[in-house]
Amino acid sequence: MLTDNFGRTINYLRLAVTDRCNLRCQYCMPAEGIDIVDRKDLLTYKEMYRITRVLSELGVNKVRLTGGEPFVRKDFISFLEMLSFNRNLDTINITTNGALIKPHINKLETLGIKTINLSLDTLQKDRFKTITRRDLFDQTISTLHTLLNSTLTIKLNVVVQSGFNTDEISDFIELTKDNRFEVRFIEEMPFNGKGLRVTDENWNYDKILTQIKQDFKAITILPTEKSATAQKFKIDHFQGSFGIIPAFTRTICHDCNRIRITATGLFKNCLFDDGVFNIRDFIRSGASDDDLKKVFIETVNQKPKNGFIAEQNRKNTNVSESMSTIGG
């Protein structure tokens, strides 16, 4: 089992399958995009499969595939097919911007994918173009409609961006009246290729909830599973629910069960650390499965107590890398 010095058990891997993306969301990367790495420096699917298998033998039973945009990587569906053969994995989920996935939704159902986290920060076409710097609103909405007719669980990820979409928080909650999905409001973090964005207002967890309480009175707090990232709520008689993720205020670290592996194989114990070990290089130097297990156990053991400590321990000073290289 993978346990750390604070008694937390790690069973959840977030794996970035690429650093490439078809959008340029302003809170994630600069307009010109990020310096993508050479293809040879990305983990191959075979390497990703092996890393996941070895981790699953150490108790990891949940994987989220993310990026960059997972569906821009060639043969991503074949990789999902490979992963679905791993019987130690109970849950395979995907985070996607949705623009490319509509033709694959049936296949995702047959492969046993459980949840799609669809990123959608606005319900307004023009605003979508401003935020993502691409004109793909119609494709994303069409994907959402197709997902609603599928068996997949849907979570809508909304990054709350001061000055851009905070006036739509209630519109998103209204959507949960007749739809079965969960809307998740995420605090914006400085992972955008530039660093902390200076804004007039700090749209943190408390401010988001206060705003919601102004517009909705009958709010019930839902029970949260252990290690959940979101505190969940529901408006009475609404079909769906909503959650708030304190990603930047970091009040969820005490029972964190997550590790991350970037598209270049960098192992991260915490979103806020700057990578503790390069597994790709270790594998390419001939490491056996036992070598890998030893390194995973030792590395997880060093997981910092929380995201603030992880940030303090960084060798490179500021938190500013793009979320698309880390894997969100």
**Region at 210 (left for phi over 0; alpha for psi -120 to 50; beta for the rest):** alpha
State which residue, 54 or 326, has the beta carbon closest to ligand SAM.
Answer: 326
Q: Site mask, ligand SAM, residues 57-86, x = CB under 6 A?
A: ---------xx-x-----------------
Nearest approach, Cβ of residue 314 and ligand SF4 (Å): 21
For binding to ligand SF4 (CB under 6 A), which residues are involved? 21, 23-25, 28-29, 67-69, 97, 119, 323-324
Structure token digits, residue 7: 């008694």
Identity of the residue numbered 96: T
Task: Pick one of ligand SAM, ligand SF4, none as the site partner of residue 24 (Cβ within 5 to 8 A by kind).
Answer: ligand SF4
Strands 258-261 vs 266-268: parallel, antiparallel or unpaired: antiparallel
- CA distance to 11, 324, 328, per residue, from 70 (Å): 21, 10, 11
Task: Pick one of ligand SAM, ligand SF4, none as the site partner of residue 29 (Cβ within 5 to 8 A by kind).
Answer: ligand SF4
Structure token digits, residue 297: 């156990």
Task: Pick one of ligand SAM, ligand SF4, none as the site partner of residue 120 (Cβ within 5 to 8 A by kind).
Answer: none
Q: Tokens 């694959």 identify what position?
A: 104
271 binds ligand SAM (CB under 6 A): no
- CA distance to 68, 81, 92, 102, 210, per residue, from 144 (Å): 19, 23, 19, 9, 28
Question: In whole angstroms, what is the distance from residue 197 CA to residue 30 CA?
Answer: 12
Question: In whole angstroms, what is the distance from residue 152 CA to residue 194 CA?
Answer: 35
State which residue, 118 or 173, has the beta carbon closest to ligand SF4.
Answer: 118
Nearest approach, Cβ of residue 25 and ligand SF4 (Å): 3
Identity of the residue numbered 29: M
Q: Is the dihedral of CA 298, 299, 305, 310 positive or negative?
A: positive
Task: Pick one of ligand SAM, ligand SF4, none as the site partner of residue 182 (Cβ within 5 to 8 A by kind).
Answer: none
Question: Which range binds ligand SAM by CB under 6 A, 48-56, 253-261, 299-307, 320-328?
Answer: 320-328
264 binds ligand SAM (CB under 6 A): no
193 binds ligand SAM (CB under 6 A): no
H/E element holding 294? Answer: helix 289-301
Nearest approach, Cβ of residue 142 and ligand SF4 (Å): 16
List residues near ligand SAM by CB under 6 A: 21, 27-28, 66-67, 69, 95-97, 119, 157, 159, 186, 188-189, 191-192, 247, 323-324, 328
